[in-house]
Amino acid sequence: MTRTRFRSIALGLVVAPLALGLAACGKKDEAPTAGAPIAKIAPPAGKQWADTIEKTAEGGYRMGNPNAPIKLVEYGALSCSHCALFAQQSFGALRDDYVASGRVSYELRYFMLNALDVPASLLATCGSTEAVIPLSEQFWAWQPAMFEKLQAADKSQLAAIDALPKDKQLAAFAEVAGMSEFFASRGIARDQGAACLADTAKARALADGTQKATEQFNVSGTPTFIINGNNVGSMEWDKLEPKLKEAGAR
């Protein structure tokens, strides 16, 4: 699914129609990534690579060895059902078999598909850096409940959101979708979450990151994967794992 007026949405200027049937449509560019097998790289004493999570200069959140020879980037959207499926299929193996080896780092960069993604991303990044990727994985697992809440919402509720002042819409949207409750139950207090939802500078940065992804890597949908700077397309774990092995993670 292509982005829908994400810059205006990210600034809380509109509440776009909800897209409840999401589809992946990232460009499939079979970039060459073949490489010789790479030996495991030990973490610093007393540390584990899978516990190393840092924010990157590109606005993403990277888990693993910052100098890993194989750098995997996922452009993901928290509203994306295909991203949720990928997370379910892959996260344990990606973390324990690849990131933990020191050969692969995994970086999550948020992509704004629609109006759901802005409040979800603002709340997912509202706490500590170390919590962002785990919270995103939990959100993807919970995602069907969000769709159920939105489908059950009265049209009058959504109309009322549209009538609110623009700087209040994201918080109201997050409440109706159940996002505020979800993150509150995981350590993001409601007042803390409300402050993050009102952070227009951060919302603008999310919009700018989406724009940059489309320009730099031709990302048009999620999940889209980048391996060592090459867009390898949108796929499930059984297709992506061989590409990591081909790149040397074996």
User: What is the token pair recorded at 179?
Assistant: 């996002």
The closest alpha carbon to 217, from 1, 3, 73, belongs to 73
Strand, helix or coil for residue 151: helix
pLDDT of res. 140: 98
On whether the CB atoms of residues 146 and 78 are closer than 8 A, the answer is no
Kindly indicate the confidence band of residue 86, based on its pLDDT and cuts at 50, 70 and 90.
Answer: very high
Task: Please write down the HEC assignment for all residues of 7-35.
Answer: HHHHCCCCCCCCCCCCCCCCCCCCCCCCC
Sequence-distant (≥ 6) Cβ neighbours of residue 124 within 8 angstroms = 78, 110, 132, 135, 136, 139, 183
Whole-angstrom Cα distance, residue 26 to residue 1?
A: 8
Q: What is the model's pTM?
A: 0.87
Count Cα neighbours of 112 within 13 Å in the Cβ-side half-sphere.
26
pLDDT of 194-245, one tens digit each?
999 999 999 999 999 999 999 999 999 999 999 999 999 999 999 999 999 9
**Domains (ranges, CATH) in the chain?**
6-246 (3.40.30.10)
User: What is residue 166's predicted lDDT score, i.e. its pLDDT?
Assistant: 81
